Amino acid sequence: MRFVIYGDFNCPFSALASARAARLERAGIAEFDWRAVAHDPTIPVLGAPIGPGDRRAHEAEVEQVRELLLADESIELHVPGVRANTTAASQAYAATPASWRGRVRVELFDAYWREGKNIGDAAVLDAMGLAWRSPRTATSWREEWLALDRPLVPIMVLPDGYVSRGFGALARLGQLFDRDRAELRQVERQT
């Protein structure tokens, strides 16, 4: 099965979708065409400091993500100091060869949510080895995402074209675990 997922690196729910997708890919249960989108391009290019009020809102979202975790699932998320404009990160991800995108996607989420790096800063991306940009591909992905009814992140497009949004997309990824749990655990024990 092959799915398309639209997600943003500065969204904790997209981070959970990415972690689930990575786990399902490693087990050979499903394939994902992850398309990075900057869902809020109004954030200043170098990001916006996360003040006390915003920090509480972000902490509430991170807590919601933790509440959505399956029994055998974990994720490390910390509220960063800066809300990143992910346009450059999306363009760098889009320039990554398709065979490396899964690894790079995980690295970008980790850099932002675990390490607190401002992945909207070109110097940070360059230091991660992501100096190339593909604005055309990233713009195409964003236009596809915006053309969907009620675009939000994450969004998962099923093989039959059905569009699952937000918590629904996360639930569907969780259902893939439930359906293939025995196979998933066997593969994870071998790796």
pLDDT one-digit tens code per residue, 165-178: 999 999 999 999 77
- Structural domains in the chain, sorted by start: 2-190 (3.40.30.10)
pLDDT at site 181: 63
pTM of the predicted protein model:
0.93
Q: What is the DSSP pairing of strand 155-157 with strand 163-165?
A: antiparallel
Distance CA 66, CA 92 (A): 28
Residue 191 has pLDDT above 80, yes or no: no
